[in-house]
Amino acid sequence: MRYTGKLAGGALGLLLGLGPIGAALGVLLGHQFDAYAERRDAGGSAGDAADLGEVFFRATFRVMGYLAKADGRVSEQEIAAARAVMAQLRLTPAQVQAAIQCFTEGKQPAFAVHTELAELRRACMWRPDLKRVFIELQVRAAIAGNDLEEPVRSLLSVIAARLGLAPAELAQIEAALWIRAGGHAREAPERRAADLAQAYRVLGASATDSDRDIVRAYRRQLSRHHPDKLKANGLPESMLEHAKQRTQQIIEAYELIRARRGMP
């Protein structure tokens, strides 16, 4: 039994603010490489009994390459963004090479993105949390790679829809990641307005809501992501740090709104 991949994958939770399922994803990715190596050493085919981790890993970097090539060329910034995701995942050198290979496959004109997404959706049929993480990774790379400009933004909307994510959920993912990334490189007034709009999306609220509605939305999101509640529902200790990070994003969004509104 191999453990190198699992140990490396477990480090994911210490690096990414992907919510309470971040650590699970890390272990999943690490397990994929351990299983692959064991099958390879035993003389088995790399494609035999492909598990969820293999499907997820392959789709993540293939689709990332597909999106990077969406405007006809892959910029140095987009390559750096993909590399940054690999670094944040603490992939081993062998894992990085596999990720690069998948990224390259996704850039090819013959890449069948809809087939890839269909396979991913089937694999994650009972794991909506992983489908959300998949989209988070794509949005993270797209923000760093091209500021989520067209045609990437529209393609991401289609991809999210094919995986069953509602537009509001995609907007929340984008809002949270923009806040973590520091927002757009805009003039101060425009950036402040954009940050405020993103904060409302994180809470699932609207600028037209009353102060009382804002407080209710804030409490609703805190309840949904609170570490103690998730722990009571079976969340492993190893994932509690990620639940805390998600809670911190919600608190930051609320504090921004509260300050702009002058709420007590």
Is it the case that residue 51 has pLDDT exceeding 80? no
Which CATH topology does 186-264 take? Helix Hairpins (1.10.287)
Q: Region 49-67: what's the mean pLDDT? A: 83
Tally the C-alpha atoms within 13 A of residue 241's C-alpha that lie toward its C-beta: 12
pLDDT at 1 over 80: no
Percent of the chain residues past pLDDT 90, beyond the cut = 34
Token pair 């402040």: residue? 192
Nearest to 250 by CA among 168, 160, 183, 179: 179
Mean pLDDT score, 215-231: 79
The most confident of 86-100, 119-133, 146-160, 213-227, by mean pLDDT: 146-160
Residue 182: the pLDDT is 60
Contact between residue 12 and residue 90 where contact means Cβ atoms under 8 Å apart: yes
Question: How far apart, in whole angstroms, are the C-alpha atoms of residue 84 and residue 90?
Answer: 10
Residue 254, both tokens: 């609320």
What is the pLDDT averaged over residues 27-39?
50
Higher confidence at residue 111 or residue 236? 111
Q: Which of 32-36, 154-158, 196-200, 204-208 has the lowest mean pLDDT?
A: 32-36
Q: pLDDT: is 68 or 48 the higher one?
A: 68
d(CA 75, CA 68): 8
**Whole-number pLDDT of residue 234:** 52
State the average pLDDT over residues 52-74: 91
For residue 217, the SS3 value is helix
Residue 107: pLDDT over 90 = yes
**Residue 163: what pLDDT?**
95
Q: pLDDT band for 26, please (50, 70, 90 cuts).
A: low
Say how far apart CA 192 and CA 88 lie, in whole Å: 28
* 136 pLDDT above the threshold of 90: no
pLDDT band at residue 39 using 50, 70 and 90 as cut-offs: very low
Stretch 124-145: mean pLDDT: 84
Q: Give the pLDDT band (50/70/90) at residue 64.
A: very high
* Higher pLDDT, residue 48 or 50: 50
Indicate the burial class of 209 (C-beta count within 10 angstroms; 0-12, 13-18, 19 or more).
middle
For the chain, the domains span 1-165, 186-264
How many residues does this entry show for the chain? 264
**pLDDT per residue over 163-182, tens digit each?**
999 888 888 788 777 766 66
